Structure 1
Amino acid sequence: MKSILIIGLGRFGRHMGRKLIEEGNEVLAIEKSEERADTAVSVIQHILIGDATNSDFMRTLGVSNFDLCVVAIGDNFAMTLEIVVLLKDIGAKHILARANRDRYKKLLLRNGADEVVYAEREIAERLAVKYSVNNVFDYVELTPEYGIYEVAVPEAWVGKSISEQSIRTKHHVNIMAIKRGEVISPLPHPDHVFAIDERLIIMGHYRDIKRLVTK
C-alpha cells in the first residue's frame, strides 16, 4: 500500500484516484472547486478543499511523506507548473504531472516533474496499477482481470533458468519476452538464465502478477 496525493479532480484525477483506491492505496485529493470535490466524493473519500499553489497550505500536508504526488490539472499549464515547482521545493519524493503539449512536457521535466503524461481514463488507470505495486514498470490491460506487465526479475530467479522455475505451473504466468535495456527478445528459450539487469514481459491475472512481484 502506498500513500498518494492527487491535486485536481477533473476526469483524469477522478479516474486515477478511483483506480488507486481499488488497488489498496491511501489517497488524499486536493481540489479548489467545491463542485468538483462534491462530484468526486463518491469514489474518493479523503478530499481537502484548498489552493495547491498556496505554499502555507501545502506545507501543512506533509508532502514529503507521500510516495507519489500527482498533478492532475490539464487545462491550466501555468498552475500546473507552479504546483510542480512548489512540490519539488517542499520535498515531494516523486512528481507525476499531466500535460497536453510537447513543449509543456519539456518545461515540467526541467522544473521538477519526474514524469509527465498525456492522459485520460485509460492512461490514468494504467498509471494507477504501475504506481501501486513495486517493480511494475508498465502495464497493458487485456481484460479487467488479465494484463501484460513489464516487471523486474524476481531476486530469487537470478542465475536460474526458466525451466528450473516452472513458471507457468508455480506462478500461473506466461513469459512473453525478456527485455535488457532497449533490446526485447520474444519467446525466450526454456534454458534462458535470468540476469539481475533484465525485465520480464509477462501475461497473467493481476492477482498472480502482484503476488509474484511483492514476494
Structure 2
Amino acid sequence: MKYIVVGLGSFGSALAVKLTEQGNEVIGIDTSMDKVESYKEKISHTICMDATDEFTVSGLPLKDTDMVVIAIGENRGANVMATALFKNMNVKKLVSRAIDSLHEKVLYAIGVHQIVHPEQESAERWAKKLCLKGILDSFELSEEFSIVEINVPTQFYGKTIKDINIRENFNLLILTTMSASEEKNLLGTSKQVFKVHGVADPNYVLHKEDILVVYGAKKDINRFVQSK
C-alpha cells in the first residue's frame, strides 16, 4: 500500500519507518530539513514541505495514495489545518492524531476516518482551559486563536444557530454542536457521553444540554462568555 505520513516527530517517524519496513511505499513529510535528512534512508521517500499549504499539497500523488496519516503532535493548529486540507482534497482514507478529547471532536467534525492517541500510552494529555465560567475545554491554535467547548447560554435556548448571529455579534464561528447525555453500562454505572452533530447546521435548534464548539480570537470568546 501507499501512505503519506505528515509529521516526522517521535510518533510519525516511527510509524513511517515501520510501514516502510513492512514493504509499503511511504512518503514522509516534515517542515524540518534535519528530520527529512535523518530519515531519508529509512523511509521510502522524504519531503521537506509545509502540509498546510494548499498549492504544495496539491502536488502530492494523492489519487494514488491509499492512506494519509496526519501525525503532527506539537502544533494543534497545524494538525487541524493539515487535516482539513487533506480532507478537502478527498483522499481515500484520512487518519489524524488527537492530543485531547476536544481535539478529537474537532477532527471527527472535519470528517477523519480514524483517530490515533499516541500520548495515552505515556499518560500525557495537554489541555488549557480558559478561566471563565461556561467553558468546558479548550486548546490553542495560536497565541491569539482557540477552539473551545462552551455551554449554550440560557438566553439562546430554543433558538437556532442562525438566530443567535454569533458571527456578526461576536466574530466567532460555530464548528459543530454536541449533546450530552447519561448512559449506563452493563454494570449499571452511569457515564456522560457526547454526541457530535457534525458540521454546524444554521437551522439547528439549541437546547439546554447542548455544547457549542466555537473557533475564534480569545478576546472574542471571552466577550461571548461574559455576555451571559
The 5 Å alignment of 1:49-68 reads 49-68=48-67
Aligned counterparts of 2:5 and 2:77: Cα–Cα separation in 1: 18
CA contact (8 A) 2:4 2:26 kept: yes
Partner of 1:144: none
The alignment partner of 2:118 has SS state of coil
* Matched letter for residue 83 of structure 1: A
Q: Root-mean-square deviation (CA), in Å?
A: 2.0
The alignment partner of 1:21 has SS state of helix
Partner of 1:149: none
Partner of 1:180: none
TM-score normalised over the length of structure 1: 0.53
Partner of 2:84: 85
* TM superposition shift of 1:22: 1.5
CA contact (8 A) 2:80 2:107 kept: yes
Bigger RCO of structures 1 and 2 (CA < 8 A, at least 6 apart): 1
The 5 Å alignment of 1:172-187 reads none
CA contact (8 A) 2:25 2:44 kept: no
Partner of 1:7: 6
Partner of 2:96: 97
CA contact (8 A) 2:20 2:44 kept: no
The 5 Å alignment of 1:25-64 reads 25-64=24-63
* TM superposition shift of 1:49: 0.9
* TM superposition shift of 1:112: 2.5
The alignment partner of 1:29 has SS state of strand
Aligned counterparts of 2:97 and 2:7: Cα–Cα separation in 1: 10
The alignment partner of 1:104 has SS state of helix
The alignment partner of 2:99 has SS state of coil
Aligned counterparts of 1:11 and 1:94: Cα–Cα separation in 2: 22
* TM superposition shift of 1:18: 1.1
Partner of 1:129: none
* TM superposition shift of 1:11: 0.7
Partner of 1:160: none
Partner of 1:19: 18
**Tell me, which stretches of 5 or more residues in structure 2 are unaligned?**
122-228
* Matched letter for residue 113 of structure 2: D
Aligned counterparts of 2:46 and 2:111: Cα–Cα separation in 1: 24
* TM superposition shift of 1:42: 3.1
Aligned counterparts of 1:6 and 1:104: Cα–Cα separation in 2: 19
Aligned counterparts of 2:81 and 2:63: Cα–Cα separation in 1: 17
Partner of 1:130: none
TM-score normalised over the length of structure 2: 0.51
Higher normalized helix content (fraction of residues): 1
Write out the 4+ residue segments of structure 1 that deviate beyond 2 Å after TM superposition: none
Aligned counterparts of 1:21 and 1:60: Cα–Cα separation in 2: 22
The alignment partner of 2:19 has SS state of helix
Partner of 2:71: 72
Cα deviation, 1:187-206, whole Å, max 9, x if unaligned, reads xxxxxxxxxxxxxxxxxxxx
Q: Alignment identity in percent?
A: 31
CA contact (8 A) 1:84 1:112 kept: no
